[in-house]
Amino acid sequence: MILTVTLNTALDITYRVRSLRPHTAHRVTEVTERPGGKGLNVARVLAALGHEVTVTGFTGGATGRALRGQLADTPGVVDALIPVAGSTRRTIAVVDTTTGDSTQLNEPGPEITPAEWAAFQEAYEVLLRSASAVALCGSLPPGVPVGAYAGLIRAARAAAVPVLLDTSGEPLRRGVAARPDIVKPNADELAELTGSHEPLRATQDARRRGAHAAVTSLGAQGLLALTPEGRWRAVPPAPEHGNPTGAGDSAVAGLLSGLLDQLPWPDRLTRAVALSAATVRAPTAGDFDRAVYEKLLAQVSVTAA
């Protein structure tokens, strides 16, 4: 079982409009809702790839009930979310169907009490007993200690469970120092962590700070990975046009899937890049186009970095 942790879950709402312009009213042509937050997106892709997945984190209020109701209809995903008194946040994506561009509005999330945080930590340690890998994903809701991911990484390492960290800012800085097996920031998050905007140098710095392997997302330019086995650059054959929402989460799913399938690193990166690009092409944010994914598996280029 793969465990994904989303401390700041969300109900993702997507509005589609023909042309997004400021200071004017818009007629929405389509509305979709789905359970969201980075770890839930990762779980959905892993389940579609055939893995057993359990999701945990916080959920509450009417939005949380809607999220859990829709999550129950997601094949292959087990709900182990912790209820809280506050209300789960919403994220609003407004997609311009003419250009394919999207504008994102993210609420901050519910205030988590010390008792709710303690209840989560207890549940997490129980879930680790049956986990084959764990992904710690996304932002921290108000009230959760900034060093939360560092503590969760140490608990996973004590249980001998491989752990991947995908977050940003101070939670990333502290989490990397706890020595996760894989850290996967994007280029901007990595620059904020290291102070360097040169991807190779910044990724090397992330490893020196404690990550066993560092994989940097370069958007349409693919992935850069520095690992104990070597360093590689994985690039799709051409940029994909569409909605990039969830593409990074699909890359995380590819890395975890490759880890559990015991693939060599170049093959893990191929899977991650193909899934990420296929997510950009999917009609619904956070899904992936399986036909595009299977085609790209033979087209992603992996070279020594």
Place of tokens 């979709």: 32
Show the CA angle centred on residue 258, arms to residues 255 and 259, nearest 5°: 85
Q: For 35, which DSSP code? A: E
Helix (H/G/I), strand (E/B), else coil: 49: coil
Specify the pairing of strand 133-137 against strand 53-59.
unpaired
Alpha helices in the chain (DSSP H): 38-48, 61-71, 114-128, 148-158, 169-177, 187-194, 199-208, 247-260, 265-281, 290-296
249 is catalytic: yes
Rounded distance, CA 44 to CA 286, Å?
8
Of the residues 12, 181, 205, 249, only one is catalytic, namely: 249
Rounded distance, CA 161 to CA 3, Å?
10
How many Cα atoms are found within 13 Å in the side-chain-facing hemisphere of 273?
A: 33
DSSP string of 121-151?
HHHHHHHHTT-SEEEEESPPPTTS-TTHHHH
The 3-state secondary structure of 281-299, one letter per residue: HCCCCCCCCHHHHHHHCCC
Residues designated catalytic: 249
